[in-house]
Amino acid sequence: MLLLLLSCLILGAAAQPSCSAAVQLAGKNLAGRNPSGCSFDAAAVAGTNLQRAQLSGSSFGRTSINGANFAGTTFFNANLDDARISGANFAQAQMGDAQMRRATLNGVNFVFADLRTAKMQNMSAVGSNFAGAVLQVGVP
C-alpha cells in the first residue's frame, strides 16, 4: 500500500490509475505534486502541505482535514463529500465541479478561490472566509 501511495504521489495518477491511499498524510509536504485521480478517502490530513498540487478527480470523501494548506491547488471534479475540514487554507484554489456535499467546514479560508459549479448542498461553513471567491448561486 505504501509503495502504491508513493507511486501515486510521485508519478501521478496517469502512471498509476488505480492509486488509493488509506494512510496518514499528516504533516507531509506534498506541495506541487500531481496525485490527480487518487483516492484519499477517510485519510487523516492534518498539517499537510498540498499547496499548488494537482488534485483533479481525486477523492477526499469522509476525510478529516485539519490545518492543511491547499492554497492554489487544482481540485476540478474532486470529491470532498462528507469531509470534515477545519482551519484549512484553500485560498486561490480552483474547485470547479468539486463535490462538497454534506461537508462540515470550520474556519476554512476560501479567499479568491474559484468555486464555480461546485456542488455544496447541505454543506456547513461556520467561520469560513469566502472573500473574493467566485461562487455560482443555484448550481445543483
Number of domains, the chain: 1
From CA 29, how far away is CA 13, in angstroms rounded? 18
Contact indicator for 40, 62 with CB cutoff of 8 Å? no
pLDDT score recorded for residue 73: 97
pTM for this model (two decimals):
0.83
Q: Residue 130: how many CA atoms within 13 Å on its side-chain side?
A: 12
CATH number at residue 126: 2.160.20.80
Task: With cut-offs at 50, 70 and 90, classify the pLDDT of residue 70.
Answer: very high
Task: With cut-offs at 50, 70 and 90, classify the pLDDT of residue 132.
Answer: very high
Q: Say which range, 21-30, 83-92, 98-107, 119-128, has the weakest mean pLDDT.
A: 21-30
> Is the per-residue pLDDT at 76 higher than 80?
yes
pLDDT in tens, 9-66: 544 444 343 455 455 678 889 899 998 899 988 888 899 999 999 999 999 999 999 9
Q: Which domain holds residue 57?
A: 1-140
